[in-house]
Structure formats: structure tokens, C-alpha cells
Structure 1
Amino acid sequence: MDITVVDHPLAASRLTLMRDARSDNAAFRAALADLGAMLIYEASRDLEVEHFDTVTPVATAEGTRLKEPPIVVPVIRAGLGMIDPALSMIPDAQVGFIGLARDEETHEPVPYLEALPEDLSGRPVFVVDPMLATGGSLLHAINLLVAHGATDITAVCMVSAEPGVKALSESGLPVRLITAAIDPSLNEDAYIVPGLGDAGDRLYGPRNMDLDHM
């Protein structure tokens, strides 16, 4: 599996704000929006393009556009925070949705929503979720995408944990990973250590049941 860790100084500074326990919801959202755009920028580096003539005020130049804009698929709930950054970089991208909740006893994903195009064959897909911890939620999402015919999948996660990266790498699924950090471990509640806490709670406030940190 191809893994890219975006180690740009600006990405690191936004990730630091997200990690900081003193950052309130507004500060966390702002940092996530900036870092999300940076990661989408990197994820788009190898997208296929096409060229065309564009007329400037002076002459004609060669223009460039994406041949096939990706479909952005957030894993709800925390993944919703990455939609606007993705669309700010790729305004003509389509958006699908996968909703997963967390079983607090087993830490396993509980699906409750799937809104995807029927056929994803030959189409690039960006599945976005701020956290990759155990890998359970992301693997479930990617398997759904594969069931719809996707073979070109990029997972965009702000913070990843070694166990989740290993699970993704050993899955054999057609996916590459773009992330800003790979943290070493998980605690007994399957939270990333040092991580940044529960991304969904820090974006939107707490709720009783979610999978946002998996």
C-alpha cells in the first residue's frame, strides 16, 4: 500500500492546533479545514488531467483541468468536516456518504447510512475521515466502495495510528493513504495516542454513540 505522510510545516502547525486540548470547537474546525485542504491537494497530485486552449487577455495559453474529478466520500460523523475543504479544492467533485456508528462495547462499526453512486468503476474516490485508529470503520467503508466497483481509492486521514495503518496495508484492498501523522498506538478505548481526542466531539460536540475516532 502506498502511504504518503504530508510533513509540510503548515500542515504540522494546523495539526498541532487540532491536537491541543485548549482548542475550542471553532479553533478545531478552522484548523481541520486548513489541514483538510492541504491533504486533498496532495491526494490530487496524480489525478489524470486534460489540456485545452484558454484565451488570456494577451494570447492563447494551454489550460489544464481534471479529466475525471474524484467522488469525495466522508465517513459520517467526523468526515463531514472534510467536505468543505475538499470542495474548496475540487469544486466539481461529487459527494457520497457512508454513515457508521460505534458499538462502545466491541469498538466495531455499526453501519446506518449508505448513499453512493451505483457504479464507481473507473472513477477515482477519496474516502475522508479525520482519524484512522483500529481501521475498522475505514475498512468497512472501503469494502462498500469496492462492492460498488471502485478500484482507485484514496483514504485521506489527518491522524493515523500504526495498528490501523497495518490493518489497511494487510487488507489487500485497492487503497492508498494520505495522512499528516502516524501515531504509535491506541489506548484501551481504541483512541489514538497521542492523537487529538474524538474528532466528531471536537467538531460538533459530544453524543452518546459514534465511531469518529476509529
Structure 2
Amino acid sequence: MIKSENIVIFEHPLIQHKISLLRDKATGTNEFRKLVDEIAMLEGFEALSDLPVEDVEIETPIEKCKTPMIAGRKLAVVPILRAGLGMVSGILALVPNAKVGHIGMYRDEETHQPQEYYCKLPDPIEERLIVVCDPMLATGGSAVDAIDQIKKHGGKNIKFMCIIAAPEGLEKLHKAHPDVQIYVGHLDRQLNEDAYICPGLGDAGDRIFGTK
């Protein structure tokens, strides 16, 4: 398995506990959504730890003081549709003023290759820190193609967040975009012959939206 300073695999007990609940096939749609939201917030807390700050002057009930506030580039959250939508609210809870873009991908069930059908990004995207999110990083095809599209539109400062990754997908994404910081909730064992993550948690989109 490749190792890089641009790959963070979380070991925090709260994240691991919530991922275990996600995996359980008995976990219903409502609880599943809440867990995805909570995990995205916990991961986002770490992924955004390098946001630039600047000292500004405010007045407390006691006195005036200089205190740090987020500065510099604005943030854009870009979920890969449709499952990535489940992670957006958790990130927005941390940075409510972030803009939200969307990249639509679906997986061809025969070739297992991603097919893009939609791309709408905040403008100007080149001035923003971009957080791409998708609960599952399986083959890595959708993530690679989504980031390809963002870079074609001028995006430069990009992070990728997922909840579960397969080694195959993580390696593919890192090799295609070594400049992108990747945050992984848990690295699973492998992909099966149908390109699903094992042990995984099934189809994240279906479980978030209650579809089959």
C-alpha cells in the first residue's frame, strides 16, 4: 500500500464507531443519513485544520482585542452525485458560508466505469479551496474523473473526503492526482468481482436515499 503525507486514514474512535454502525445492514435510512452527516463533520474538522486565519479586531463585553478568524480563499464543497450529497450538510455545519457545486456521475454496471452527466461549480473556482466528497472510494474512477473536471475548470487547491475506501481506489486516485489531499474514514480490504468494497456497507446512495 502506498504511503504519502497527502493521505490521511482516520483512526479516531468516534469515526470508527460510527462507520461500524453504518456497515450494519439493520441500520435504517434515517439513522444512516445521520451517521454519514456526523462522520463528514468529524472528518471535515480535521481536513480543514489548515485553513488560513488572520487576526481581526473585535470588541468583547470587556475590551477590544485582536482574535483569529478564517481568511484567504473561500471554500467550495463539491459532492459527487448522488451519494456525496449525504456528506454536504456535515461540512456546511462547520463552514456555513461555503459554496456548493455538484458533479454528477453514475457507474456503468457492465464496465464499472464512471459516466459523467452533470458539472456545475462555484465561480471563480480557481480562487477556492475545494472539498470533493463521496462516501465510497471503490475503483477510484469517479473521484479521478471528478477532479479532472474540476482542474479543467481551473480548480487548484483540492481535497478529497470519503468514508470508506478500497486500496485499489485509493492508489488510483493518489497516482492520478498526487497533489490532492485524501481523507479516508476507513481503508477496507479489497474490491470484489463486481467492484464493490469488501466488507463495505453496500450501496451508499441507496442507503442514504432509501432506494434500491
TM-score tier by shorter-chain length is: over 0.9
**Does structure 1 retain, via aligned residues, the 8 Å contact 2:144–2:177?**
no
2:182 counterpart residue number:
177
Change (3 A) 1:196 1:61: farther
Hey, what's the Cα distance between the residues in 1 that align with 2:194 and 2:60?
57
Show structure 1 runs of 5+ residues with no match: 208-214
Q: TM-score scaled by structure 2?
A: 0.93
From 5, 12, 27, the equivalent of 2:9 is 5
Q: CA deviation at 1:12?
A: 1.1
RMSD: 1.3
Does 1:47 pair with 2:51? yes
Deviations 1:9-60 (A, max 9, x none): 1111111111111101011111111111001111101111222012211122
From 23, 32, 38, the equivalent of 2:42 is 38
Change (3 A) 1:118 1:53: closer
Does 1:26 pair with 2:30? yes
Q: TM-score scaled by structure 1?
A: 0.92
From 168, 175, 188, the equivalent of 2:173 is 168
2:68 counterpart residue number:
64
Quick one: percent identity of the two aligned structures? 40
**Does structure 2 retain, via aligned residues, the 8 Å contact 1:118–1:148?**
no
**Does structure 1 retain, via aligned residues, the 8 Å contact 2:99–2:122?**
no
Hey, what's the Cα distance between the residues in 2 that align with 1:104 and 1:189?
9
Does 1:156 pair with 2:161? yes
**Does structure 1 retain, via aligned residues, the 8 Å contact 2:76–2:122?**
no
**Does structure 1 retain, via aligned residues, the 8 Å contact 2:135–2:204?**
yes
1:210 counterpart residue number:
none
Deviations 1:151-188 (A, max 9, x none): 21100101111000110121145311011111120011
What is the aligned length?
207
Hey, what's the Cα distance between the residues in 1 that align with 2:8 and 2:37?
19
**Does structure 2 retain, via aligned residues, the 8 Å contact 1:69–1:90?**
no
Hey, what's the Cα distance between the residues in 2 that align with 1:119 and 1:88?
23
Show structure 2 runs of 5+ residues with no match: none
Hey, what's the Cα distance between the residues in 2 that align with 1:194 and 1:145?
30
Q: CA deviation at 1:137?
A: 0.3
2:21 counterpart residue number:
17
